[in-house]
Amino acid sequence: MKDTPEKPFKGRLEDRRFLTGKGRYVADITLARQCYMGQVLSTHAHARILSVDTSEAETMPGVIAVLTGADCAADGLGTVPPFFMPSLWGGPEGYATQRKILVDDRVRCVGERIAIVIAETADDARVAAETIMVDYAPLPVVTDARAATEADAPKLWDDNENGNISVSIPMGDKAATEAAFADAEVTIKRRLLSPRIAPFSLEPRVSVGNYDEADDRYTLYTSSQDPHGVRSNIARNVLKIAESRLRVVSPDVGGGFGLKAHMHPEDALVLWASKHVGRPVKWLGTRSECMLTDTQGRGQEIEVEIAATKAGKLTAIRAEAWTNLGAYFWGTATPPLFFAMQLIPNIYDVGAVDLTNHAVFTNLPPMSVYRGAGRPEATYLAERMMDELAAELGMDQAEIRKINAIAPDAMPYTTATGMTYDSGAFADMIDAAARVSDWSGYDARAEESRAKGRVRGRSLISYVEVAGVMNERMEIKFEPDGTVTIVAGTHSHGQGHATVFSEMVADWLSVPVENIRYVQGDTDKVLIGRGTFAARSSMLGGTALLRAKDALIERAKLMAAILLEADKDSLDFADGMFKVRDSNKAIALTEVAKMYYIPAGPANALGLGLTGEGTSAGKPGAAPNYPNGTMVCEVEVDPRTGALTVDRLAALDDVGRILNSTICEGQIHGGIAQGMGQALMEEMVFDEDGQLTSGSLMDYCLPRAEHMPDIASELSEVTCTTNPLGVKGIGESGAIGAPVAIVNAVLDAVRPLGVAHIDMPVTQAKLWSALRDAEAAQ
């Protein structure tokens, strides 16, 4: 719901513990007799391991055990496959890697885990790990995805019949696209890059493993967005135990952004090591270690060509992309491969498409999801090309978009890539964004910039997000005293679920919000859940919660009927009361609930306890939702120095029915900041040997407060038709739209100076070079 003067945002229920230093992050957990794990990471991007000498480490102070890949093999530990492959989403079969949690034969990227040291303190473990000598026989290295597809490129996986390509995902209609290009009045071709970047949750990854011999059971505390997924992966693939014998707990998690949507080798290593040493084992990732070993996002090169009429109407798009998987097909790498193609049509009727995405192995650390997961790449292409077309035809940025936008009366509309949009008022969003951003006042601001010797540029871009993947489960239960507990399958790590879900239940059941407890993130407390990523929780968690409420009310009705001496079908539930239709007999839900916990009496026949569970499903299989929006950005560039300021940024977002406007806008602000980092600052840089040269905050630039403009955000409510709440996701929108909004504005500023193209990140040095090159060419 929207904040109003009568009902302002009052803070979140979870805020107090974070504000007082009482957050419960995994690094804060100290178990009795706990010891620490340090790691030996590969220093070569591609090499055979000839030997691992641990003899000195074993004698170091505080060292309890040293374990290598040979010990993994001796203990029969299994390897880790991808969470799922493209074939599960209707794509072709591909080459799936199996990853060892400690590598003993051949390293394929820097940062591979080779050995671990368990010691009394974290310092002891790290110091001893430094003494372990690994003898390598280096192999040739390939870091670029497109180069890795060449016939003579070093090959990563010997038994992959398709060279270094894991899978090539085709999409669209080749013949129709060719026909459209044959008739095209205008064609434009570009090569676009979305470099690798770091998700960079501010909390580094951390795990604590504890094997309990008495129960023959493991407990893992890990900073994860999806504890049940981590449990399945480790139990089935690595430890090969029943899932019930592993408990995974993810308490407070200090940011996820996709990095923590899947397991990491350390999660399995601390459990295995704990069984070895008979004590709890804690691993605290240092920032440098995490920069080297975290999964990264993006990493795509794409060749694109568009066809259009002289009036500015798109008729076809063809594109071929090379996505840099890194050394393994790891974690949830599948969704970005699809979304990077599926969302290319964006808000437009684009005619025909012919798209291919090659997922390519290289000697870089593995790629997986990062906020947006393929959607920013698709949007970057669609909106870069739309501006190229506008520039070519001399058309207004807003006008050309409205010519191509899908009309609301075309809904539901299936795009050329097979996405069925249920709702959206795209052209209206463009008009509204122009209003919010003072589009018409631009000329005066451009003149002010000119007077200062600077140039101003602007952009207006649109985006579509696809939200609501997989399925979900939620539970609502009454406690014996009439208070309520929500048991969530989703996992909030900043999104404010404890507040929003509790407010929803409070509203539905007319229970005071302070009487609601919210539980998540523990596989012993939550039967099953998928966690939180891909802007999925509002729709899938929300819908499952609604169904849990419905189930709970249905069961409560049975008791209410007994207590009111009425027929069940004559009861209505409203405002927290069951009322007998056409009578004045009524009873409160909380009183009904308490009766389910009375140990004796006539109501006993209904059994013990009042709970409701609900499930929901999304893409693929069931319909997702399509949040969308328009961003307007203005930048100012000093043409002498390349210095760049993002001066204004307005975002208008259709989020469907609003559950909490302040929290929605918070998500938008954060996504935009990450999008700005991608556009202007962030890049994981590897040299030709595959060595990471941006391995700390000394060389990897994150946005700070003074880099950010004051964002003008407005929410629009176009009700979603694919779920009973009418909601659309919000977690990724900012990160999807912002990169191209900013790059397009920069290009708009410098195009008159002769700069026709620039790649992300648009650093000052890069912009200065482009300006000098353009100057020299003129």
Partner 1 sequence: MSEITLRINGKQRRVTVEGRTLLVDLIRDQMNLTGTHVGCDTSQCGACVVKLDGDTVKSCTVLTATLPEGTEITTIEGVSTGDLHPMQEAFSKCHGLQCGFCTPGLVVTAIDIVERSPDGLSASQVRKALKGNLCRCTGYQNIVASVLEGARAMGVQVTEEKETV
* 8 contacts: CB under 8 Å, gap ≥ 6: none
Binding residue for partner 1, selected from 203, 294, 305, 383, defined by CB under 8 A: 203
**Is 124 or 465 the residue whose CB approaches partner 1 more closely?**
124
Site for partner 1 in 142-201 (CB under 8 A): 200-201
**Is 47 or 433 the residue whose CB approaches partner 1 more closely?**
433
Of the candidates 280, 317, 284, 287, the one whose C-alpha atom is nearest the C-alpha of residue 302 is 317
| DSSP for residue 407 | P
Q: Which two tokens stand for residue 516?
A: 């609601």
706 lies in the binding site for partner 1 (CB under 8 A): yes
**Is 292 or 344 the residue whose CB approaches partner 1 more closely?**
292
| DSSP for residue 80 | B
221 membership: H or E segment, kind and range: strand 217-222
Cis peptide before 265 (omega within 30 of 0): no
Strand partners, 318: 305, 354
* 123 contacts: CB under 8 Å, gap ≥ 6: none
**Is 499 or 716 the residue whose CB approaches partner 1 more closely?**
499
Stretch that binds partner 1, among 40-48, 52-60, 337-345, 667-675 (CB under 8 A): 667-675
Q: Which two tokens stand for residue 148?
A: 């890795």
Mark residue 678 as left, alpha or beta (left: phi above 0; alpha: psi -120 to 50; beta: remaining).
alpha
State how far the Cα of 371 lies from the Cα of 255, in Å rounded to an integer. Answer: 11
Stretch that binds partner 1, among 64-72, 264-272, 576-584, 690-698 (CB under 8 A): 690-698
Q: How many CB atoms within 10 Å of residue 3?
A: 15
12 lies in the binding site for partner 1 (CB under 8 A): yes
702 lies in the binding site for partner 1 (CB under 8 A): yes
By CB neighbour count within 10 A (0-12 exposed, 13-18 middle, 19+ buried), where does 512 fall? exposed
**Is 526 or 651 the residue whose CB approaches partner 1 more closely?**
651
**Is 27 or 588 the residue whose CB approaches partner 1 more closely?**
27
**Is 287 or 435 the residue whose CB approaches partner 1 more closely?**
287
Binding residue for partner 1, selected from 312, 331, 457, 494, defined by CB under 8 A: 494
**Is 355 or 646 the residue whose CB approaches partner 1 more closely?**
646
Binding residue for partner 1, selected from 64, 548, 589, 672, defined by CB under 8 A: 672
Q: Give the nearest distance from C-beta 376 to partner 1 in angstroms.
A: 16
Of the candidates 170, 91, 161, 93, the one whose C-alpha atom is nearest the C-alpha of residue 358 is 170
**Is 50 or 202 the residue whose CB approaches partner 1 more closely?**
202
Stretch that binds partner 1, among 547-555, 569-577, 664-672, 759-767 (CB under 8 A): 664-672
**Count of chain residues binding partner 1 (CB under 8 A):** 64
469 lies in the binding site for partner 1 (CB under 8 A): no
Q: Give the nearest distance from C-beta 26 to partner 1 in angstroms.
A: 11
Site string for partner 1, 17-56 (x = CB under 8 A): xxxxxxx-x-xx-x--------------------------
Strand partners, 66: 117
Stretch that binds partner 1, among 40-48, 144-152, 282-290, 714-722 (CB under 8 A): 282-290
307 lies in the binding site for partner 1 (CB under 8 A): no
Binding residue for partner 1, selected from 10, 189, 310, 772, defined by CB under 8 A: 10
Q: Give the nearest distance from C-beta 446 to partner 1 in angstroms.
A: 15
Stretch that binds partner 1, among 180-188, 412-420, 624-632, 657-665 (CB under 8 A): 657-665
452 lies in the binding site for partner 1 (CB under 8 A): no
**Side-chain half-sphere of 465: how many Cα atoms within 13 Å?**
32
Q: How far does the chain reach from its first CA to its final CA, in angstroms? A: 55
Of the candidates 194, 205, 51, 65, the one whose C-alpha atom is nearest the C-alpha of residue 124 is 65
**3-class DSSP state of 555:** helix
**Is 112 or 682 the residue whose CB approaches partner 1 more closely?**
682
Site for partner 1 in 118-137 (CB under 8 A): 123
Q: Which two tokens stand for residue 368?
A: 């997986």
Give the long-range contacts of residues 670-673, CB within 8 A, separation 24 or more: 670/734, 671/371, 671/372, 671/731, 671/732, 671/733, 671/734, 671/735, 671/736, 671/738, 672/631, 672/708, 672/711, 672/734, 672/735, 672/737, 672/738, 673/703, 673/708, 673/734, 673/738
Binding site for partner 1 (CB under 8 A): 9-12, 14-23, 25, 27-28, 30, 123, 200-204, 252-257, 286-288, 493-496, 636, 645, 647, 662-663, 665-666, 668-674, 696-698, 702-706, 708-711, 734
